[in-house]
Amino acid sequence: MPPALKVDAVTLFPGMIDAPLSESIVGRARQEGFLELGFSNPRDFTEDRHRTVDDRPYGGGTGMLMMAEPVYRALKAVRKKGSTVILLTPKGRRFDQRTALELAKKKHLIFICGHYEGIDERVTPLADLELSIGDYVLTGGEPAAVAVIDAVTRLIPGVLKRSDATVNETFTDGLLEAPHYTRPAVWRGKKVPPELVSGNHKLIAEWRRRQAESLTGDTRPDLAPAPKKARSAAKKK
């Protein structure tokens, strides 16, 4: 059986992506053939003695840029009809769960990871989509590729034990989740909220909804339906 999803990463540092995605749930998804992850290294597509992949920016400025040609050749080596090419860049649209759900429908994703100060601007038209994972500065696109591939892989049917758990979760319905607790019922004097141990499923559902709404209103009011004025009734203790 072919994998549900094939992902290729165009990167100078494949180990930055391969290693974290060899652990835990995604590592197992790869072993079980749900996800096939490949790499195409621009350095392998150079022709000069020093295998040069970077150069100084025109117009001056600090740092180095990745050259267009090795990136282009590395992309060309893995691109097929029907591939979706994603450029990871701080200038991209913010990656979110909605985009993860869209990408999970695809058969072949290619991530282009910049490093140093970025990539020669002339490669950007090769991408179907430009994504950022948030407003902070990374050393390159590789950690961002890891985050996106992780978020997409867990949405592949069969990767999670309870795959129905991925449809209605945090961010998809626009709310943070209520707090979770496991045994013991009292830990260092801290009790689990009585609603959760009541055995009353309606009471539990209502408690979770109230918690989710007040938590979202307090810490992430930017997330959709901030219902009324969410008071901090969620007094932990």
| 117 near ligand 21W (CB under 6 A) | yes
Among 153, 34, 37, which residue's Cα sits nearest to residue 101? 153
* Contact flag: residue 65 with ligand 21W (CB under 6 A): no
Least spacing, CB of residue 96 vs ligand 21W, in Å: 13
Interface stretch with ligand 21W, choices 10-18, 84-92, 152-160, 173-181 (CB under 6 A): 84-92
Structure tokens at 83: 């591939």
Q: At closest approach, how far in Å is the CB of 64 from ligand 21W? A: 11
Residue selected from 118, 127, 152, 153 as contacting ligand 21W according to rule CB under 6 A: 118
For residue 8, the cross-strand partners are 38, 110
Could you give the string, one character per residue 135-154, with x where binding to ligand 21W holds by CB under 6 A and - elsewhere? -xxx-xx--x----------
Between the two ends of the chain, the Cα-to-Cα distance in Å is 51
- 179 touches ligand 21W (CB under 6 A): no
Residue 80 amino acid letter: K
Beta strand 65-66 pairing with 54-55: antiparallel
The reply on whether position 64 binds ligand 21W by CB under 6 A is: no
In angstroms, rounded to a whole number, what is the distance separating the alpha carbons of residues 27 and 42?
25
- Residues composing the chain: 237
Question: Is residue 114 close enough to count as binding ligand 21W by CB under 6 A?
Answer: yes
Q: Name the one residue in this structure whose structure tokens are 């001056």.
A: 60
34 versus 111: smaller Cβ distance to ligand 21W: 111
CA–CA separation, 45 vs 86, rounded Å?
Answer: 20
Strand order in the sheet with 108-113: 35-40, 5-10, 108-113, 84-94, 129-132
Task: Give yes or no for residue 59 binding ligand 21W (CB under 6 A).
Answer: no
Distance CA 21, CA 30 (A): 9
Q: Which of 11, 40, 89, 153 binds ligand 21W (CB under 6 A)?
A: 89
From 7-15, 49-57, 87-95, 225-233, give the range in contact with ligand 21W by CB under 6 A: 87-95
Residue 96 binds to ligand 21W (criterion: CB under 6 A) = no
> How many of the other CB atoms lie within 10 Å of CB of 28?
14
- 156, 29 in Cβ contact below 8 A? yes
Residue placing its CB nearer to ligand 21W in the complex, 17 or 144: 144
Name which of 152 and 178 has its Cβ closer to ligand 21W.
152
Binds ligand 21W (CB under 6 A): choice among 3, 14, 90, 179:
90
- Residues at the interface with ligand 21W (CB under 6 A): 62-63, 88-90, 114, 117-118, 132-134, 136-138, 140-141, 144
